[in-house]
Structure 1
Amino acid sequence: MAVFTPIALSDISEWIARDFEIGTAIDIRGIHGGIENSNFFLDTERDGQKQEYVLTIFERLSAEQLPFYLEIMRHLANKGIPVPKPLANHAGAILFSLKGKPAAIVSKLPGLSRLAPEEYHCELVGKMLAKMHLAGADFQHTQANLRSLPWWQKTVPQVLPHLNTAQQGLLRDELATQADFFASADYSALPEGASHCDLFRDNVLFDPKGSSASDTQQDQLGGFFDFYFAGTDKWLFDLAVTANDWCLAENKQDLDPGRLRSLLDAYQAIRPLTKEEQASWSLMLRAAALRFWISRLWDFYLPRNAHMLTPHNPQHFENILLSRKKI
């Protein structure tokens, strides 16, 4: 999350009071981190009680694309999956316009991120990811993952001039490998549906139930958030994206066997992988690594101006891709 379009309390106070049943807006704070949208914590007061929400102004996604993301969150929330639920105004709309750009307000989930997860956290994430996939199986809307193969093929020529010869060769070769994989019968046979596609550690919250926030063994899953890279995609891709971030070894590139086992066993206890998915696991791990290497190269070398924006180092996913090619 980041801030490209600054918002002050005075910009929204009248709007909140007029269009919503959430009380009076009392504070708004920009959220640091991320790279796509402008995000803010929004506090309101109603009947003497403070309420917390997240306000997002969409910087790249269009008003035509956005209903998919908001409706999948509403669908999942209504099925009991812990995700932010979009807030409707008096007219029942969940997509608005603010400062000439699309905007939405969603509920704020409880908890905090665990950026150094234990096997226990990976188990909780794996179980809920499988439940989320099954809960979204009857979601009526479809929209392709906008950061999948067509976007890779469009973006790679833009970042290649910034890379050295070895990096250019690695990027070209892996893109060709993935293009062949995506065109294969094995890939077509993989089950698909609504997917998060960006379930990194900082997009999951845990609600500490122990005596202190450091008592991780008492954590409960607070929920998944930031669905604005979601799409209709292979569920195995969603699982691979998650594994590549949650199950890193101490060297920050290889997979840690214990955390990976916890994630996969918990997922498969809810939704066992098909034989086609098991056979495609290695290539899908590479696809997930390639997707984020390309996007981080793009954000690093072709950045946009923003308040509170810090681009991620693309070398991290270059190293992960090199590691996954050895599997």
Structure 2
Amino acid sequence: MAVFTEVSADAAAALSERLGLGTVTELRGISSGIENTNYFLTTDPGDGAHEWVLTLFERLSAEQLPFYLQLMKHLAQRDIPVPDPQADINGEILHSLCGKPAAVVDKLAGGHQLAPSVWHCQQVGAMLARMHLAARDFALHQPNLRGLAWWTETVPVVAPYLTPEQRALIESELHFQQDLAHSPAFAALPRGPIHADLFRDNVMFDGLPGHEKLTGFFDFYFAGVDTWLFDLAVCLNDWCIDLDSGRLDEARAQAFVSAYDAERELGHDEIRLLPALLRAGALRFWTSRLWDYHLPREASMLKAHDPGHFERVLRERVNNPWHWLRAE
């Protein structure tokens, strides 16, 4: 992601030696994203090149990080394709570099599918459900730190930057989500650890064009315990839409949810509340993009996302709610 902290070759080499990864042959900053400092790290332990991702955490504390790293380790041990955090000789997977908490994980094969088809959406939907089920017995607990409490805190901070029409929309939606959160149906929704940020650029595929196979999910640093339905809604709002208008693509959305449902059957209230959670997902990312855009941090290669995109998505979800019905 954006480079906030410059890592020297010597510092990277010292960490690589501590983890037994071999000689560092390349260290290259990653420009995408806006939360953490990320580098591609190439090493040679004596049997050829190995590729890793080195992350320095800019906002998350050392107390918060065990949840994310241990969740990734937990999922990797249950055959969910996620980056596996590398341990030192003492078994520690959380490290320190340049005065920041840090981690090194293996680099997934392949590349992104930024124009996904029904085939890609089916694979992501099915694996998302498997991930949810695999994390049911994960022992650590941390709430979704970008959930309702954060929206409630942040909307008043970004509201002064909005037009009256935008402000009316975001405040109205926040009230809607607050009321929803207090409803018995919402309280009863199944929940557990979720990714919470599984956009197209956080999933990798590899293989021949048109026949690519999913190779993994990554960037779990927004993960937390929340409703599984919210995770599904976040995915639908990115994987299954027309990017220009924000409208859901019916074929991709149906394929995504049907593939998820085949692995973990959705309950009646989940199906009924999906339109409301699609609105919640749009609100979450409109709010965070407004925050990043209007209150940016300095960083090398930093490029904030356009907040207008999720404003369009939210308006579309409010005006044209989408309902999914299980095929009989």
The answer to whether TM tops 0.5 is yes
Q: 1:252 to 1:113 in 2, by over 3 A?
A: farther
Within-5 A mapping of 1:46-195:
46-195=45-194
**Structure 2 counterpart of 1:2, which letter?**
A
CA drift at 1:46: 1.4
2:315 to 287, 308, 322: 322
Distance in 2 of aligned mates of 1:123 and 1:29: 33
Task: Give the structure 2 partner of residue 261 of structure 1.
Answer: 254
Deviations 1:5-50 (A, max 9, x none): 0112122213322x12211111110011111000000000012410
| Residue 14 of structure 1: aligned partner | 14
CA displacement at 1:229 relative to structure 2: 0.3
Q: In structure 1, what is the Cα distance between the partners aligned to 2:62 and 2:246?
A: 37
The AA in structure 2 aligned to 1:303 is P
Partner of 1:237: 230
- Equivalents in 2 of 1:286, 1:48: separation in Å? 50
1:201 alignment counterpart: 200
User: Residue type matched to 2:149 in 1?
Assistant: P
Distance 2:20 2:312 in 1: 49
Q: Which residue of 2 aligns with 1:223?
A: 216
User: Which residue type is aligned with residue 148 of structure 1?
Assistant: G
Question: 1:232-275: per-residue Cα shift (whole Å, max 9, x none)?
Answer: 01000000000000000264400000000110110001011101
Runs of 4+ in 1 over 2 A off after TM superposition: 249-252
Give 3-state SS (helix, strand or coil) of 1:2's partner: coil
Distance 1:95 1:59 in 2: 14
C-alpha separation between the residues in 2 aligned to 1:250 and 1:10?
Answer: 42
Q: Which residue of 1 aligns with 2:271?
A: 278
Whole-angstrom distance in 2 between the partners of 1:180 and 1:246: 28
Distance 1:114 1:131 in 2: 20
Q: Is the 8 A contact 1:196 1:227 kept in 2?
A: yes
The C-alpha deviation readout for 1:88-120, integer Å capped at 9, x for no partner, is: 011110001111110000111101000000110
Residue 49 of structure 1 aligns to a residue in which SS? coil
Tell me how far apart the structure 2 counterparts of residues 276 and 155 of structure 1 sit (CA, whole Å).
29
Segments of 5+ residues of structure 1 without an aligned counterpart are: none
What is the alpha-carbon distance in structure 2 between the residues aligned to residue 293 and residue 155 of structure 1?
11
Distance 2:83 2:299 in 1: 25
SS of equivalent to 2:49: strand
- What is the aligned residue count? 320
Task: Look up the SS of the partner of 1:276 in the other structure.
Answer: helix
CA distance in 1, matches of 2:19, 2:150: 37
Q: Tell me, which stretches of 5 or more residues in structure 2 are unaligned?
A: 322-328
Q: Contact 1:125–1:263 (CA<8 Å) still a contact in 2? A: yes
TM-score, length basis structure 2? 0.96
Secondary structure, aligned partner of 1:263? helix
Q: Secondary structure at the match of 1:133?
A: helix
Per mean C-alpha deviation after superposition, the further-off stretch among 135-144 and 7-16 is: 7-16
For residues 154 and 312 of structure 2, the distance between their equivalents in structure 1, rounded to whole angstroms, comes to 20
Does the 8 Å CA contact 1:2/1:306 hold for their aligned counterparts? yes
Percentage of identical aligned residues: 52
CA contact (8 A) 1:9 1:26 kept: no
CA distance in 2, matches of 1:73, 1:16: 20
1:249 aligns with 2:242: yes
Task: Check whether the contact 1:110–1:206 (CA below 8 A) recurs between aligned residues.
Answer: yes
